[in-house]
Amino acid sequence: MPFSNRDGGAERLEALARRLRGHSLRMISRARSSHAGSCLSVADIMAVLYGEVLRLDPRRPEWPDRDRLIVSKGHAAAVTYAALAERGFFPLDLLGTYGEDGGAFFGHVTRTSQALGVELSTGSLGHGLPVGAGMALAGKRDGQTWRVFVVLSDGECDEGSNWEAILFAAHHCLDNLVVVVDYNKIQSLDLVANTIALEPLAEKFRAFNWHVGEVDGHSIPDLREALHSVPGAPGRPTAVIAHTIKGKGVSFMEGQVLWHYRPPDSSELDRAFAELQLSK
């Protein structure tokens, strides 16, 4: 089918989110890479988007009528590749090449000949939403029915380019554009509140004339309701502020700055998989 539907319910998506966490941790540990905490915080969001919401056809990655998803928080590469593999864009065993020298799966989200389904190479924060707004404007002017989703990190909201794009999207009434903010409250080396405070974030989007919803970013039912209700308001772009926990799902990683950059070693990976109730 060109896109998934709601069959299977929340349990199917919760199981998918657990697998995405497992794939991500395995990939990061093997590659001695970074951003485990970021991948874990956004896993439920990615499970709902790729598992149910997005209109996609893995057999035709460039299907003209597909929805577009830009993962602007490009450091969450492992979970993005895992979601694409689970959705059928390429075999799951290719995830084992993540981070290899000369390989196709880079440490930040990157379009390559094997990373099918990636819409835009990202990593330098603040670029995804401006590009997504341009895509949405082009689609709207061409009378297309596909939608553009952009996943932002909370720390990325420090970038002025995002706020220019937020103004632009509202001005052009881009109700085919959806931003999801993975609001895990930690960026790089410190708390978001200690770096550049974002609050009141929802009110800021509303002041820019966006339709705004706030959800528990680890509640599959909340995410389903918010992401299926698009457009939230005719003529207005939608922002879904998803309150999450960095490192969610692994007790010793949750809410810890350490896991932005540090990969789990073998024993930590064993502990994480036991908590996730997954086989390593």
pLDDT in tens, 171-188: 999 999 999 999 999 999
Residue 9 has pLDDT above 90, yes or no: no
pLDDT band for position 280 (50/70/90)? confident
pLDDT in tens, 249-273: 999 999 999 999 999 999 999 999 9
pLDDT in tens, 143-156: 999 999 999 999 99
Architecture per CATH, domain 9-276, reads as 3-Layer(aba) Sandwich (3.40)
pLDDT in tens, 104-138: 899 999 999 999 999 999 999 999 999 999 999 99
Distance CA 230, CA 68 (A): 14
Residue 58 has pLDDT above 70, yes or no: yes
Residue 5 has pLDDT above 60, yes or no: no
> Looking at per-residue confidence, does 168 or 104 come out higher?
168
Q: What is the pLDDT of residue 2?
A: 33
Distance CA 188, CA 197 (A): 14
Residue 1 has pLDDT above 50, yes or no: no
pLDDT in tens, 82-111: 999 999 999 999 999 999 998 889 999 999
Structure tokens at 252: 């010793």
Task: Select from 173, 201, 192 the least CA-distant residue to 38.
Answer: 192
Residue 62 has pLDDT above 70, yes or no: yes
> What average pLDDT score do residues 13-26 get?
98
Task: Select from 57, 54, 58, 76 the least CA-distant residue to 67.
Answer: 54
Q: What is the pLDDT of residue 8?
A: 59
Q: What is the pLDDT of residue 131?
A: 98
Angle, helices 266-276 vs 9-31, to 10°: value is: 180
Task: Output b/e per residue, 83-118; b: 16+ Cβ within 10 A.
Answer: bbbbbebbeeebbbbbbeeeebbbbbbbeeeebbbb
Distance CA 67, CA 12 (A): 22
Q: What is the pLDDT of residue 182?
A: 98
pLDDT in tens, 185-229: 999 999 999 999 999 999 999 999 999 999 999 999 999 999 998
Distance CA 6, CA 13 (A): 10
Distance CA 159, CA 146 (A): 27
